[in-house]
Structure 1
Amino acid sequence: MFLRYSFSLFNIWHLTIFALFFVYSTVETQSKFIKRDSFLDRTNVPKNILAASPLGGGSHLVPMLEILKILVVRGYNVTLAASGNFTANSESYRSIPQIIIGNETGTSLMNEEFAKKVFLEDVDFNIMSKVFDPELYTKFYNIYKRITEEINVDLFFCDVGMNEACFDLAWQLEKPVVGFASNPIYASIPPSYKSDPVFGCHVNMENETFYERFKCSIIKPLQFMNVFMTIGNLLNEQRVNVGVEPIWDPRSRMKNILFLFDTFFGFEIPIPMLPLHQEIGPVLADTYPDLTPDLESFLNAHPRTMYFALGTNVFTSPQNIAILLKSCLELINQNIIDGVIWATVKTNITELMSFSNVDFPISDILNNNYPHIHIIKFAPQFAILSHENTKLFLSQGGASSSHESIYTATPMLVLPIMGDQFGNAEKLELAGIALKLSRLNLTFDDTILKIKRLLSEESFKNNAKRLSFMAKLNSKRKYRAADLIEIVMNSAKYDSIEDENGNLKTNNNVLLKDWITADTRMGFIRGNYIDVYGTFIILVLTLIGGFGYALLKVVKYLYTYYKARNSNSKSNTE
């Protein structure tokens, strides 16, 4: 009994000592650490941002607005200048005020006749460049200038598409500017191995023949030089009209500024990136419209559904639509798929109804009387792609559609219509998540074959899952984009100069000097060490030439010497 009692006291004593030691150690440990202070002092940081996108449309505006939403939460004052009444009609972005600079979005910059030519015929860059209207430069410049005076803009956030006026005004008013694009090729000179189908070349020239590489690096640029010079001259005429100094380097107002690209490696062809060029994509919204009861019911009843949508701004010919619908019916009959959701958007249903050269009940389909094809004007695309029964996405290959398809791991059949869609189709195909169709040579058999491959070959599903993982991680980078814009604003606070009216003036050539690589300041020859390597090559050639000359003299001397010696020997012998 006594021993048991003593043992208990012994244990209590040791437990007490251990507890005291633990408390002491904790206090001692805590005293060696402090909590990191993450507070950002935004006092007196410029706050007024003007975002400008003449093209408008979801693909251009949604990624920009997602970044702007973050900045609004952080206390910045944001105004959007874009075509179409976009934010007022949006649940997600209604809080961002918009100044409408055009009646429609996307195709508003070209008339219906020209749109049909671009969408339905074989066009190249020369034809595409005709969509450029130089007078729009003056229109947008004056609108942006008026807005700037009204809201006292501190920073311009410019979508690169047909938006030279935005960049010019920022430089003219000496305000910081940040560029935005879906593809690095629009804002920087790409390496030789990267091109674009718009120029008649492939996005990746790695495995092309010598002839193709020579054509795309030498011949094509020379062919398009006249187009670039013509556009540049027209722009300079408009610049003079509004008091802006003409420029001859089309990228001069895009140098030395921060550019955000809504893309990511895995989808994008990898290239070396400058510190000023930052990939922040895929930029996606946090919430999307949900399925309607009809769509949810249809999807639940059709476990192998294909979703068909060509975006909000483009369309294809009635003949192509008929081929696609006929292919869908055949695949349903073969039990390859069991349902199709078709978002018609820009499709001319009236024209399609009168299209008589078909051997299937097109009227029943268009009137939603066919049980396995559900037609809707506008569809909640992300919700449809997120549904487990959506197995394939037939798309035009726009940037937003591509990102959403990758995010939801949905393989794609791409029918590119215009612009960057051709390049996106090639990138998706190279990534192993898609196959592409030809809008000018669309056939029933080719469509059937490619849909069967996409649904049966495991590689497409596996690549889709692999890219989905990357997209989900990279989709967080829109916060990084907002951070980068804040860094530019904060730099302007310290590195700008106040004029007589108290307005900050910024030199965009040096504002982000910490991010500008030295070769930019050194010039082409010094920056690429051409002078050093050139001198080295000259020295080596001089040494080789001198050694060769000396060797030649020695050989010549020895030859003469031995020849004379042999002659003397013969004379003595005789």
Structure 2
Amino acid sequence: MRVLPVILIVCGVLAVSDGAKILAVFSMGAHSHFTLGFKLAKELADRGHDVTLINAYPQKTPIKNLKEISVAEMRIIMDEQKKGLFDMGTMTYLGQLRWVSNMGNFYTDHVLKNKDVQKLLNSNEQFDLVLMEDFVNKAMTIFAHRFNCPLIILAPGPTTVFNNDLFVNPSPSSYVPNFLANFGSSMTFWQRLKNTYYDIVGQLFLHYVLLPEQDAILKEAVPNAPDLKSIIYNASLMLTASHISLRDAAPLQPNIKEIGGYHVGPLKQLPKDLQEFLDNANEGVIVFSMGSNLKSADFPKAKKDAVLKTFANMKQKVLWKFEDDLPEKPDNLKIMSWIPQQEVLAHPNVILFITHVGLLGTIEAIYHGVPLLGLPVFWDQEKNIEEAVLKGFGLKISFPELNVDNFAWAVNELVSNPKYRQTAKTRSKIMHDQPVKQMDEAMFWIEYVIRHKGAPHLRSPGLNLRWYQLHLVDVALFVLSSITVLFVGIFCACKRVFSGKHEKSKKE
């Protein structure tokens, strides 16, 4: 009998019996980000908590214990921002940081100025906890300050240069790759040098660009708000939408918990025509999707033609998320404007997932043991597929480099070589082999923070230190100064002794 799951369930039942009031802030107008927040909010509501959810995708059917504050206008605003995503992958590291921070500033400003959000901020509401996504929106920590309650943040990925500081989480540049790096933890000297550069530039950008800009946004939307730096370090816990089955081991503070995969399931029934398409694929099915933010219909003609030519020569069936008509499609290709991705990847006939390598789709592929062909476009997608390649369950073609030759070779290699699917199944076993399900662990820690009034005992003492104390700069300077004084003293003493002997010899 496993004791831990029983303890977690008992604790969960005790917490639910005295339901808490929770404010969940997941306001970005991107469906993948909404999915992460909605899954947690709905589960909390189902467990008896009173949840208020600020989001851009309000539900048509009311959900028990869940009240929504709509910022649906963010979807229109974000659609304009998304038009530049295909160009983002050609930007420098600093250029990508700048592009994403501009987007974050834009949507943070609009959300905080939303009339219903302003009404909430100026209300007499009381909450026991604020749960919010942390993605270039630091100003939204004002909710926890305003309602004087603990804060839990959800990182839509692993720990990064943008959130490690909040918990003094160590991230050595020597073996923890930056989230925008295109290499793994076993780095060459030049990769370690590049990784160090990425981390230092990221830290400088965070503290001298992003935080001041977010602070200005906060002061404009909430005139009596405190300085942002005085409230962002008060988070009690961070949940990360990452998992050890995808990336290499890295340090984590006790108040940082990996729950990647919690958004998977429960699976719904597939539409009849799609179910039959998958069931009748005796040679297997290749699934192709560029996610919710990128559109395959926007592919340049040369790249679209390369994809179609390759698929036409395959004996497998192909399911492609394509958002427009495609008259020239081959007979083995089925297109849909939206794919129930989790349910499709769970089908036993699916043998390959071609993807932009967004984190959620990558996790779903690992969860169901499906190998990947990654076509990374921007942000963490390059890193996600690099991890898959290094671990042996994927291949990579950077989107700008996609052509008929490399695409056809990669698809045929992944389909015909069984090692990729075997490795994907191994990674899937790692994801599934844990004492409790990811969602149950998330619920336990959320309720734990509520029960323990913010769980201050999990807080790192490092948060009480200044940066030069944390990194032992003062100690290093003291030791260096002491050694310098010692050597200067020895030098002066030796000089005096030898000078005295020289004078004595001259007199003699």
Same fold (TM over 0.5): yes
What are the within-5 Å matches in structure 2 for residues 243-392 of structure 1? 243-245=223-225, 247=227, 249=229, 253-302=232-281, 303-315=283-295, 316-319=298-301, 320-330=303-313, 332=314, 337-344=315-322, 347=323, 349-350=324-325, 353=326, 363-365=327-329, 370-392=330-352
Q: 2:56–2:71: 8 Å Cα contact kept in structure 1?
A: yes
Aligned: 1:101 with 2:82 = no
Over aligned residue pairs, what C-alpha RMSD do you find?
3.6
Offset at residue 542 of structure 1 (A): 4.6
Aligned counterpart in structure 1 of residue 57 of structure 2, from 62, 65, 84: 84
Aligned: 1:155 with 2:129 = yes
* More displaced stretch, 310-319 vs 174-183: 310-319
Q: 1:342–1:376: 8 Å Cα contact kept in structure 2?
A: yes
Aligned counterpart in structure 1 of residue 409 of structure 2, from 410, 427, 449: 449
Query: Could you report, residue by residue, the CA deviation over 1:43-101 in whole angstroms, capped at 9, with x for unpaired residues?
Result: 9967111111111544223333333344334421112211023x3369xx787443221
Q: 2:185–2:248: 8 Å Cα contact kept in structure 1?
A: no
Aligned: 1:421 with 2:381 = yes
Aligned counterpart in structure 2 of residue 461 of structure 1, from 421, 426, 429: 421
Distance 1:161 1:256 in 2: 14
The residue matched to 2:132 in structure 1 has which SS?
strand
1:55 aligned partner: 28
Aligned counterpart in structure 2 of residue 490 of structure 1, from 446, 451, 455: 451
Distance 2:104 2:258 in 1: 27
Aligned: 1:478 with 2:439 = yes
AA matched with 1:427: E
AA matched with 2:103: V
Offset at residue 516 of structure 1 (A): 1.4
Query: Could you report, residue by residue, the CA deviation over 1:220-243 in whole angstroms, capped at 9, with x for unpaired residues?
Result: 855995797455444333322322
1:131 aligned partner: 103
Offset at residue 446 of structure 1 (A): 0.7
Offset at residue 464 of structure 1 (A): 0.9
1:16 aligned partner: none
AA matched with 2:305: A
Aligned residue-pair number = 480
Gaps of 5+ in 2: 1-5, 166-170
Q: 1:323–1:443: 8 Å Cα contact kept in structure 2?
A: yes
The residue matched to 1:307 in structure 2 has which SS?
strand
Distance 2:353 2:16 in 1: 48
Offset at residue 518 of structure 1 (A): 1.7
Distance 2:466 2:119 in 1: 37
Q: 1:55–1:162: 8 Å Cα contact kept in structure 2?
A: no
Q: 1:179–1:254: 8 Å Cα contact kept in structure 2?
A: no
Q: 2:48–2:65: 8 Å Cα contact kept in structure 1?
A: no
- The TM-score with structure 1 as length reference comes to 0.73
Distance 1:43 1:463 in 2: 40
Percent identical pairs in the alignment equals 20
Q: 1:306–1:341: 8 Å Cα contact kept in structure 2?
A: yes
* More displaced stretch, 131-140 vs 546-555: 546-555
Q: 2:126–2:147: 8 Å Cα contact kept in structure 1?
A: no
The residue matched to 2:261 in structure 1 has which SS?
coil
Larger-gyration structure (1/2): 1
Distance 1:89 1:244 in 2: 37
Aligned counterpart in structure 1 of residue 172 of structure 2, from 191, 201, 211: 191
Q: Structure 1 519/460 Cα, relative in aligned 2: closer, same or farther at 3 Å? A: same
AA matched with 2:128: D
Distance 1:440 1:60 in 2: 25
* More displaced stretch, 41-50 vs 293-302: 41-50
AA matched with 2:336: I
Offset at residue 399 of structure 1 (A): 1.7
Offset at residue 340 of structure 1 (A): 0.6
Offset at residue 394 of structure 1 (A): 0.5
Distance 1:482 1:170 in 2: 19
Q: Structure 1 542/559 Cα, relative in aligned 2: closer, same or farther at 3 Å? A: same
Q: 1:308–1:393: 8 Å Cα contact kept in structure 2?
A: yes
AA matched with 2:263: L
AA matched with 2:84: K
1:501 aligned partner: none
Distance 2:56 2:284 in 1: 38
Distance 1:227 1:532 in 2: 26
Gaps of 5+ in 1: 1-34, 354-362, 493-510, 569-574
AA matched with 1:328: F
The residue matched to 2:60 in structure 1 has which SS?
helix
Query: Could you report, residue by residue, the CA deviation over 1:358-413 in whole angstroms, capped at 9, with x for unpaired residues?
Result: xxxxx142xxxx43112222222222212222110011111221111001110001
1:523 aligned partner: 466
Q: 1:45–1:489: 8 Å Cα contact kept in structure 2?
A: no
Offset at residue 261 of structure 1 (A): 0.4
AA matched with 2:352: L
Q: 2:317–2:333: 8 Å Cα contact kept in structure 1?
A: yes
The residue matched to 1:88 in structure 2 has which SS?
coil
AA matched with 1:187: N
Distance 2:430 2:478 in 1: 46
Query: Could you report, residue by residue, the CA deviation over 1:423-466 in whole angstroms, capped at 9, with x for unpaired residues?
Result: 32223223322112222221111111212222344442232122
Offset at residue 180 of structure 1 (A): 0.5
* More displaced stretch, 477-486 vs 251-260: 251-260
